[in-house]
Structure 1
């Protein structure tokens, strides 16, 4: 069955669109089940991050691409024509290449960032849990993970750690001359926020506060990094103390509003506050940028911050592309080999069925007292007629059509040397 990819990412759609097609983690299995149950896809994996929402599907034919884009629009309550302007799609080999590039970090906002591989693996596991993964995508993703691992180990793509987290901290360093005198408030306790926290610690931030919906999760991260842990509901009490606010949660609604920031800047006596929102959907209301002395950045604003780091990874990316080219070729060859194996199994099963039918007839004839020699002759004759029936019909049709190429192929398959005197 053909493999397709449908999606939007940071290259094709602004954050305002990406946040509207993002899938909440707790609704992912429901979405996958809907996609498969509607028979748009036979198998599906959905990757949804701050920079992309992509659907990897095994389908009946290429025409399913348009139907899956429509499903994505319907699921999120979007206009189909409007969404199509931002969507891209890939088919078969291009789809295989794309998912390998994504998992290897070659299609990321920050070239070579490692978090995406974990996110793809998580998406794969969720699809497994939802029983929306079959042999096609199982085979594909095992190959994808193998290639992504090779890219990490055989190239320098992962050196000089850069990520959205690193870019956010780099932005803070540019705005504050010395972040060693700064207080940072981190909202969320996932992998990205943990990376932000570690980068800030490495750069000597004076004070670190971690806010999360679950206090236990915030305390765990805070303990590891000698930080303070608070609940999301307490953010309003701590915001005025923060010079740097970096947020990345899975919340479907904004956590920080314009009014909250206005109160905080007033309490800070208008000392500048940097807010970096790296969540999709956004954690911080866009109107916050209207607040004087508040400087709001989203993931889309980080492009310039990371540009220099991207250049340093270009050579490694070229080597990685070669590994991916090889990976695509090996996967497609394995896919064709699997198809041939299936054909061979089917052919053998058909021959086995004919054998059993003729053998059953022979045994019944022996039971009735027919002479063994006569039974053996009929058995051999019956086997020969049934086994050569399909090839004989093929040869006759090819001959009637004067299809010499078909006749040559048949001669080779049947082991017949037409030039030999018979």
Structure 2
């Protein structure tokens, strides 16, 4: 059995493909159970964000094609199209990949902190679905531990750098003075919370939070002195909005070209800056065709991200070293666990031989044999029986020419391979 990390991300797939391979929160438990039921996967977890959809598995490497086929079928995607942008990591490479993802080293914005929380949520959902067992569970715990060390021991998490921060940075380029701007935020999740915080820190004049449920929008709005509305009320607020940033889990667009056209007319074509961070997209791409609208998707944030990368390279190198240490430590512990079963079986065999020889010795003593003779026979019997199976196997290996196995045996039994210097 091997660890597998399989998926697509912002480096390998366009936003069009990523939104088609994304899993909604409502799909996750059923998808995990179907994956374990319909493929040879023993343990599984799914991480699905706007920038990646990844499957973390414990299964035979040979079954990888079956999982790819399942993933393509589940999302009604052609297998060839999925293969063209998918990647597969196995064993230590899979472990290293998971730790890099959790540490923010594989994110669009280097070091962004949201991904660790998203991975913890993926683990919690997999536990709820019953698809995580002891091995994948240990890997997740080791991943979280390594990511925590990276956060505390390097500067990779210093200063707020995220997709949300990049979106606000773009807004500052469009509107030099955000104090006179009004912002409409659609959604109330982690990303929008970060956007609201950044906008609030920049002194934006007015912030409106629109969400499917008013209660959640109100909770977020209270934190930043904003105004909460329902999604249905967006048309009444849209024309007031200089900045529109959207990030929801909706499967259908929330803002269409027609609604934005109406808002522009009421604004007398005063420019609007819009960022669609959601996957699938919240804002119809055709909105970008309108004059006086600056529409950006998550893929358009790369240039802002590149600037942030420059200040993070030193921290990233230190973080990579910590991830390598975390990977090596986990794989070493895993190998130790693999040895436990062998050692347990070997000890049980030795104890069985010991009990047999001890029983013989006790019977001889009861029949009047001398203690010296019984002790000598006990020692010979134990030695012969304990060495019998290894001796037979070593002779067989030698006859087969497997010299490397003989060298391994010398190391295993800590035998002196040099001349006797006594």
Deviation at 1:386, TM superposition (A): 5.4
Seen in structure 2, the aligned counterparts of structure 1 residues 237 and 417 have a Cα distance that, compared at 3 Å, is closer
How far apart are the structure 2 equivalents of 1:137 and 1:259? Answer: 48
Instruction: Give the corresponding residue for 1:321.
Output: 320
- Cα distance 1:383–1:130, how it changes in 2: closer, same or farther (>3 A)? farther
User: 1:217-228, aligned counterparts within 5 Å?
Assistant: 217-228=216-227
Kindly indicate whether the alpha-carbon contact (under 8 Å) linking 2:39 and 2:67 is maintained by their aligned counterparts in 1.
no
- How is 1:290-329 mapped onto 2 (pairs within 5 angstroms)? 290-329=289-328
1:354 Cα offset (Å) = 5.2
Q: TM-score, normalization: structure 1?
A: 0.91
Quick one: structure 1 residues 20 and 371, their matched pair in 2 at CA, closer, same or farther if it must change by over 3 Å? same
Q: Deviations over 1:323-364 (max 9, x none)?
A: 11222222222222222223212222333455567789999x
**Residues in 2 aligned to 1:162 and 1:409: alpha-carbon distance in whole angstroms:** 51
Aligned position for 1:172: 171
Per-residue CA deviation, residues 161-209 of structure 1 (Å, 9 max, x unaligned), is 1110011111111111212111111011011100100100110111110
Specify the SS of the correspondent of 2:47. Answer: strand
Name the CA shift for 1:405/1:318 in 2 (closer, same or farther; >3 Å).
Answer: closer
Alignment check: 8 A CA contact 2:217 2:229 kept:
yes
Structure 2 vs 1, CA of residues 403 and 211 (structure 1 numbering), >3 Å: closer, same or farther? closer
Q: Could you report, residue by residue, the CA deviation over 1:243-296 in whole angstroms, capped at 9, with x for unpaired residues?
A: 111000111111111111111112212111111100011111111112222221
Secondary structure in structure 2 of the residue aligned to 1:20: helix
Inter-partner Cα distance in structure 2 for 1:153 and 1:141: 18
Return closer, same or farther for 1:396/1:302 CA change in 2, 3 Å cut-off.
same
SS of 2:110's partner is coil
Q: Say which SS state the counterpart of residue 239 (structure 2) adopts.
A: helix
Which residue of structure 1 aligns with residue 69 of structure 2? Answer: 70
Indicate the RMSD between aligned Cα atoms, in angstroms. 2.7
> What is the CA–CA distance in structure 1 between the aligned matches of 2:416 and 2:274, rounded to whole Å?
79
- The whole-number CA distance in structure 1 between the counterparts of 2:105 and 2:179 is 33
Per the alignment, in what secondary structure is the counterpart of residue 339 of structure 1? helix
**Cα deviation, residue 102, structure 1:** 0.7
335-344 vs 48-57, greater mean Cα deviation: 335-344
In the TM superposition, 1:18-417 aligns within 5 A as: 18-60=18-60, 62-353=61-352, 371=367, 387-410=386-409, 413=412
| Number of residue equivalences | 417
**Alpha-carbon separation, structure 1, partners of 2:405 and 2:232:** 75
Supply the distance in 2 between the matched residues of 1:4 and 1:147 (Cα, whole angstroms). 19
CA contact (8 A) 2:39 2:63 kept: no
| Separation (CA, whole Å) in 2 of partners of 1:117 and 1:261 | 35
Secondary structure of 2:95's counterpart equals: helix
Distance 1:249 1:408, change over 3 A: closer
Tell me the distance in 2 between the aligned counterparts of 1:240 and 1:23. Answer: 33
**Residue 228 of structure 2 aligns to a residue in which SS?**
strand
Cα distance change on mapping 1:397 and 1:273 into 2, 3 Å: same
Aligned residue in 2 for 1:6:
6
SS at match of 2:17: helix
Q: Which moved more, 1:340-349 or 1:197-206?
A: 340-349
C-alpha separation in 2, matches of 1:31 and 1:331: 28
In structure 2, what is the Cα distance between the partners aligned to 1:103 and 1:148? 6
Distance, in Å, in 2 between the alignment partners of 1:327 and 1:41 is 25
- Higher mean alpha-carbon deviation, 222-231 vs 400-409, is at 400-409
Residue aligned with 2:55, SS: strand
Alpha-carbon shift at residue 371 of structure 1 (Å): 4.2
Please report how far the alpha carbon of residue 92 of structure 1 lies from its aligned counterpart in structure 2 after TM superposition. 1.3
